[in-house]
Amino acid sequence: MSTHSITDDRAAFAAHVERHRHELRVHCYRMLGSFDEAEDLTQETFLRAWRGRAGYAGRSTVRAWLYRIATNACVDALERRPRRPAGEEVPWLQPYPEALLEQLPSDDAQPDAALVAKETIELAFVVAIQHLPPRPRAVLILRDVLGWRAKETAELLEMSVAAVNSALQRARAALQQHLPERRLEWPGGEDPTAAERALVRRYVEATERGNAQAIAATLREDARFSMPPEPGLYDGRKTIVDAWEAGGFGSDAFGRIRCIETRANRQPAVACYVRHDDDTAYRALGVDVLRIEGGAIAEVTAFGPDRFEVLGLPEAL
């Protein structure tokens, strides 16, 4: 099927647009911050495309046409359900499965490495971008993440080029206020991959021992901890450890912990399971997604057991 024609055969149409599902889902995820909502809006995109296929005139590729529909669907959803982060907290934040990031197109026809570049899919970026209003958010993603030209972005959002450039400037300034000051760094001479593995292994071993102080040794002094959608942002290593110990972590009543190392959002993650004396298995407890800076863990974002299935994790060990 030519990219300049849209068939009325529903099965053929679905096959033609389906190859764009993975990248459109990532796009919707950045816009929304929620994996579940990104799934819904990707499906909404395909429904809108099918209903509006007669209006496709071939002036752009099918891919660009779908991005237009997906972006507008996300903007519509955000404007219907206005919500703002509570300070630096984003209660609706969800992790993105690493396995699905690996399924994005990477051939010469669609060189989309930017789609899954670590700095644009990691949780810190997703959280920061949720602070932007819907249209400036869309402008920044299209221009700075996907590399669309100002004219293309203006046509997609039905804005003037001047308005797009102005929105982009404001969005960049606002984004910097919410992004971490430092990116992934390791002391000179260390292999980041080996150093990261060693640090995560220390975190896992300390967690399985129920030793909050040993976990503290893996954290930066200014580390942060949060558990979306639960309210509360814990700032500082001591504050985090005190909260864990107050919650019973490490006690017999809390239970014994086992961990699986995994990844989400291009970040290391640790899936934790707990077993109590009256149980025969370790049950899903939570997934800690780790942000690493300067050779230590700068942030732990913990998600509940409801995320295990979508992340491809067993619910019991």
Domain containing residue 255: CATH number: 3.10.450.50
Taking only the tens place, the pLDDT of each residue in 164-196 is: 999 999 999 999 999 887 655 556 666 768 889
Domain identity same for 16 and 108: yes
The answer to the question of residue 250 being in a domain is yes
Higher pLDDT, 130 or 116: 130
The answer to the question of residue 184 being in a domain is no
Taking only the tens place, the pLDDT of each residue in 212-263 is: 999 999 999 999 999 999 999 999 999 999 999 999 999 999 999 999 999 9
- Taking each helix axis as running N to C, give the angle between helix 62-80 and helix 150-157, from 0 to 180 degrees, rounded to the nearest 10: 60
Please give the distance of CA 249 from its chain centroid, rounded to a whole number: 27
Q: Where are the beta strands (DSSP E) in 31-170?
A: none
Domain identity same for 154 and 42: yes
The answer to the question of residue 182 being in a domain is no
Domain identity same for 146 and 246: no
- Residue 273 binned pLDDT confidence (cut-offs 50, 70, 90): very high
Q: At which of 152, 176, 200 does a domain end?
A: 176
The answer to the question of residue 65 being in a domain is yes
Domain identity same for 159 and 261: no
Domain identity same for 112 and 57: yes
Domain identity same for 299 and 234: yes
Q: Pull the structure tokens for residue 285.
A: 């407890």
User: Domain span at residue 264?
Assistant: 192-307
Question: What domain count does the chain have?
Answer: 2
Residues 6+ apart with CB under 8 A from 188: none
- Residue 109 binned pLDDT confidence (cut-offs 50, 70, 90): very low
3-state secondary structure of 264: strand
Domain identity same for 111 and 241: no
Domain identity same for 163 and 118: yes
Domain identity same for 136 and 206: no
3-state secondary structure of 274: strand
Domain identity same for 14 and 138: yes
Domain identity same for 130 and 262: no
The answer to the question of residue 151 being in a domain is yes
The answer to the question of residue 187 being in a domain is no
Domain identity same for 26 and 171: yes
pLDDT of the residue at 5 = 58
CA dihedral 205, 92, 172, 110 (to 10 degrees): 80
Q: At which of 149, 176, 203 does a domain end?
A: 176
Let me know if 203 is exposed, middle or buried by CB neighbors in 10 A (0-12, 13-18, 19+).
buried
**pTM of the shown model:** 0.91
Mean pLDDT of 293-307: 95
CATH of the domain at 105: 1.20.140
Q: At which of 151, 176, 201 does a domain end?
A: 176
Other CB atoms within a 10 A radius of the CB of residue 313 amount to 19
The answer to the question of residue 2 being in a domain is no
pLDDT of the residue at 59 = 67
Let me know if 289 is exposed, middle or buried by CB neighbors in 10 A (0-12, 13-18, 19+).
buried
pLDDT of the residue at 317 = 94
Q: How far is CA 245 from CA 215, 235, 238, 298, 306, in A?
A: 11, 15, 11, 19, 24
Peptide bond connecting 180 to the previous residue in cis, omega within 30 degrees of 0 = no
The answer to the question of residue 277 being in a domain is yes
Q: How far is CA 146 from CA 103, 114, 152, 153, in A?
A: 17, 6, 11, 10
Element housing 25 (H / E)? helix 21-32
3-state secondary structure of 118: helix
Taking the C-alpha atoms of residue 266 and residue 308, their distance in angstroms, rounded to an integer, is 17
Taking the C-alpha atoms of residue 124 and residue 258, their distance in angstroms, rounded to an integer, is 27
